[in-house]
C-alpha cells in the first residue's frame, strides 16, 4: 500500500486482480474511489447566482475541479441532491462563469465549515474548458517549481 497524506483525507492504493485501486480512508472508514477524472487543486471565488433557500448570494471557495464537478467550501451545508447555481470567478475571465450543479456529498470540517461535492448539471462547454484550462495551467506551473 502507498500512502498519500492529507489533513482531511488519506488515500491508499491496494493491489487487486485489475491492478492498483485507490482507496480513501475518511473518518476512519475505507471508501472505494469513485472519481472518473483527475481533480486539479484551485482556489477560486464563487457566489450563488441568485437568492434562494441556501443563502442570499452566499460566498464559496472552490478548492478543486474536474471534468464532472468541483469541491467547494461553505459555511453552511446544503443537503445531498440540492441544486446550486453558481457564478465562478476565473482570473482573466470576465464576466463570471455560470454553472449549475447537484450536491453529491458534504463533510463537516469543524470551525472551517463544510466541504461540498458538486456534480455539474449545466455548464457551457467553453466555460468548462476555461475552468479546466486555468486549473491545468496552474498545476503545470506548480510542478515546474517543485
Give the DSSP letter string of 47-59: EESS--SS-TT-E
Region of residue 19 (left: phi > 0; alpha: psi -120 to 50; beta: else): left
Of the pLDDT bands very low, low, confident and very high (cuts 50, 70, 90), residue 104 is very high
pLDDT of residue 35: 57
Using an 8 Å Cβ cutoff, are 88 and 135 in contact?
no
Residue ranges and CATH numbers for the domains of the chain are 2-32 (no CATH), 40-145 (2.40.10.220)
pLDDT of residue 34: 61
Using an 8 Å Cβ cutoff, are 97 and 136 in contact?
no
Q: 27 pLDDT exceeds 60?
A: no
Enter the pTM of the model. 0.69
* Arithmetic mean of pLDDT over the chain: 78
Supply 56's cell numbers. Answer: 442570499
Amino acid at each position: 500500500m502507498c500512502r498519500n497524506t492529507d489533513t482531511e483525507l488519506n488515500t491508499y492504493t491496494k493491489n487487486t486482480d485489475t491492478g492498483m485501486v485507490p482507496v480513501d480512508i475518511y473518518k476512519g472508514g475505507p471508501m472505494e474511489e469513485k472519481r472518473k477524472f483527475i481533480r486539479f487543486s484551485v482556489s477560486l471565488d464563487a457566489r450563488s447566482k441568485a437568492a434562494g433557500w441556501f443563502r442570499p448570494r452566499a460566498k464559496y471557495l472552490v478548492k478543486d475541479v474536474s471534468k464532472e464537478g468541483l469541491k467547494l467550501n461553505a459555511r453552511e451545508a446544503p443537503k445531498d441532491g440540492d441544486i446550486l447555481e453558481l457564478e465562478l470567478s476565473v482570473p482573466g475571465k470576465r464576466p463570471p462563469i455560470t454553472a449549475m450543479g447537484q450536491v453529491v456529498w458534504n463533510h463537516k470540517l469543524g470551525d472551517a465549515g463544510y466541504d461540498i461535492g458538486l456534480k455539474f448539471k449545466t455548464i457551457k462547454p467553453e466555460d468548462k474548458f476555461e475552468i479546466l484550462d486555468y486549473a491545468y495551467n496552474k498545476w503545470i506551473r506548480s510542478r515546474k517549481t517543485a
